[in-house]
Amino acid sequence: MEARFDNKANILNASMLAAHDNSAIYRFKTNFSFRGRDITLLQDMNPALGSDAATVGAIHWRDKVIEVNGHKKKVSDLKTKKGGFMSKARYWRWTAERREYELKFVNDEWASTVKSDGTSKVVGRFAVPYRPHLFTKPPDPLLSMTRTALAEDEVFLLLVLVYSEAKRQDDTNSSVGNGSEGW
pLDDT tens digit string along 153-179?
A: 999 999 999 999 999 988 876 544 444
**Residues 6/14, Cβ–Cβ less than 8 Å:** yes
Confidence of residue 83 (pLDDT cuts 50, 70, 90): confident
**Residues 112/101, Cβ–Cβ less than 8 Å:** yes
Confidence of residue 181 (pLDDT cuts 50, 70, 90): very low
Residues shown for the chain: 183
pLDDT at 174: 55
Q: How far apart are alpha carbons 61 and 51 in whole angstroms?
A: 28
Q: How far apart are alpha carbons 55 and 53 in whole angstroms?
A: 7
Comparing C-alpha atoms, which of 154, 132, 130 is closest to residue 142? Answer: 130
pLDDT at 51: 67
Whether this model's pTM surpasses 0.85 = yes
pLDDT at 177: 47
